[in-house]
Amino acid sequence: MPIGAILGLFAFAGIFLLFVGLNQARRSAGGTEDFQARLAAYGVTTAGATQLPPASGLRDTMNRLFSPAAERVGRGDAKKGKPSVAEQLNRADLKLRTSEYFMIQLGMTALFMLIGLARFGFPGGIIQIVVLGIAGYLAPGIYVKYRINRRLRAFNNQLGDTLTLLSNALKAGYSFAQAIDTVAKNAVPPIADEFARAVREMNLGGSPDEALQNITKRIASADFDLVATAYSIHRTVGGNLAEILDNIAYTIRERVRIKGEISTLTAQARASGTLITFLPIVLATFMYFVTPTYFRPMFENFVGWILIAIGAFMIFVGNLIIRRVVAIEV
């Protein structure tokens, strides 16, 4: 076995053990720092609550080492509506600090570059190594966005039944805060987690209106934003909140039903678009890794670069057309 492949395997094992160690350290740390950070997030200041404890162990040492760079890289842009890395991790329900996420990005970058070094060598494969490094750096972000979208879909699918439960609790004579607590105890994640967090915020002195607005910020759900707006208007002008929630629940359930029917009718077109888009890319990548000499003329000849550009452009246009055809707003 080539020495590069052996080094790549050792690097993969080391990075994997690092991630496992960080996960185990977070579970066994006891949570003093996290508890104080949560109190500070809710505006509760106690002696030492906003001060980080002295570094103890590998986890805290690496956190302090990577925190400055992670904070600079992970800042969002409020003016452009771009959430920060911490907000994205929160929306994805990943129990990671920004510094830990930054370490994972660096680890994936190093891992992919070592794989490229083992497969293509240096300096002949410098372009492939750089491309793989960029792919490794972007891979965690793609996974986070996937988690965010999956959690948002699950939240929206549960919202109709949750509003019905909330309305029934109000009809039974509960206050709105008690109704939210009932939902937190009887619903399932992710709605149960978000409503439980809202209950904790209200127990710490926040109003139900603020708790609902915070859920909207964390989830970024247009449907739940309608609920938060309806409750805010109800607090101002009054009215039958249970009836309002029933109407919103009916609207959301109908929207989910129609979206499901549209998804069923357009499933074949979406599958065709995905297959047409990724099959050439996956096949070309596989063949390039298995037999690099097969694709070498495409990268060493000007005509080959032109053919690659034309193929990529046609794949992009085909995928764009199919997405426009199946994109039906409800």
Lowest mean pLDDT among 127-141, 147-161, 286-300: 286-300
Is-contact 152 220, C-beta < 8 A? yes
How far from chain centre, in Å, is Cα 197?
19
Residue of 150, 154, 162, 177 whose CA lies nearest to 248: 162
- Measure the CA–CA gap between 139 and 156, rounded to whole angstroms: 26
Q: What average pLDDT score do residues 194-219 get?
A: 87
pLDDT at position 49: 40
| 134 against 45, higher pLDDT | 134
pLDDT at 62 over 70: no
Task: Show the tokens assigned to 109.
Answer: 């970058």
Name residues whose C-beta falls within 8 Å of residue 75's C-beta, 6 or more positions apart in sequence. 84, 85
Across the chain, mean pLDDT equals 76
Cis omega before residue 123 (within 30°)?
yes
Q: What angle do CA 62, 65, 70 make, to 5 degrees?
A: 100
* DSSP class per residue in 75-128: --BTTTTBPPHHHHHHHTT----HHHHHHHHHHHHHHHHHHHHHHH-TTTTHHH
Q: What average pLDDT score do residues 199-207 get?
A: 87
Question: pLDDT of 257-273, one tens digit each?
Answer: 888 888 888 888 888 88
Task: Show the tokens assigned to 162.
Answer: 């949750």
pLDDT at position 35: 47
- Measure the CA–CA gap between 231 and 195, rounded to whole angstroms: 15
Note the helical H segments in the chain: 3-28, 32-41, 57-73, 85-91, 98-120, 126-171, 176-186, 191-203, 208-219, 222-237, 241-265, 267-290, 292-300, 302-326
Residue of 305, 271, 248 whose CA lies nearest to 127: 305
Q: How confident is the model at residue 80 (pLDDT cuts 50, 70, 90)?
A: low
Is this prediction's pTM over 0.85?
no
Q: Amino acid identity of 13?
A: A
Cα dihedral angle (18, 96, 72, 56), rounded to 10 degrees?
-60
pLDDT at position 60: 61
pLDDT at position 15: 60
